[in-house]
């Protein structure tokens, strides 16, 4: 509807000017540039515990897989009847350990990428804030 059509419309909106709108004003927070650079450096070096735990568990599962595989090989070499009964258990333990190791490595890698994206986004925001603080504007007060 254009402006000329609005004037001819049968529906009209009425409002009063008696109300007031209050917009909260934020007090500026001044940060020393060296403190800001230190905070940014600390954010860049953040490590997420899940990434470290996933890598630890993956290494543990890989170690268990290697131990089970060595046990399986030694059982296959011997021609004992008892060894034949245990071979299936060692084969299953080897397989499950390998599956867990691969899953934990994938989780760790995915989380590391996600964490890197988050840290980069925070650093970009910090750079934007630092750039806005450096740019003189009409409301900028410097003492």
The answer to whether residue 6 scores a pLDDT higher than 70 is: no
Q: Is 77 inside a domain boundary?
A: yes
Of the pLDDT bands very low, low, confident and very high (cuts 50, 70, 90), residue 90 is: confident
pLDDT of residue 137: 46
Q: Is 90 inside a domain boundary?
A: yes
Q: Is 105 inside a domain boundary?
A: yes
pLDDT of residue 99: 92
Question: Could you tell me the residue range of the domain that residue 119 belongs to?
Answer: 50-133
Q: Is 127 inside a domain boundary?
A: yes
The answer to whether residue 122 scores a pLDDT higher than 50 is: yes
Report residue 75 CA to chain centroid gap: 44
The answer to whether residue 9 scores a pLDDT higher than 70 is: no
Q: Is 129 inside a domain boundary?
A: yes
**Residue 135 in tokens:** 């740019």
3-state percent helix, strand, coil for the chain, nearest multiple of 5 = 70, 0, 30
Q: Is 24 inside a domain boundary?
A: no
Section 125-140 average pLDDT:
65
Name the domain count of the chain. Answer: 1
């Amino acid at each position: 509807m254009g402006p000329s059509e609005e004037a001819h419309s049968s529906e009209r909106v009425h409002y009063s000017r008696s109300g007031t709108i209050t917009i909260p004003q934020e007090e500026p927070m001044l940060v020393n540039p060296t403190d800001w650079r230190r905070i940014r450096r600390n954010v860049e070096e953040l490590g997420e515990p899940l990434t470290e735990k996933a890598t630890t568990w993956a290494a543990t599962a890989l170690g268990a897989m290697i131990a089970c595989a060595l046990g399986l090989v030694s059982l296959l070499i011997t021609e004992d009847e008892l060894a034949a009964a245990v071979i299936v258990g060692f084969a299953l333990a080897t397989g499950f350990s390998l599956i867990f190791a691969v899953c934990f490595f994938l989780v760790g890698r995915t989380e590391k990428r996600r964490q890197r994206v988050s840290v980069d986004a925070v650093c970009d925001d910090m750079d934007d804030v630092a750039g806005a603080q450096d740019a003189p504007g009409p409301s900028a007060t410097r003492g």
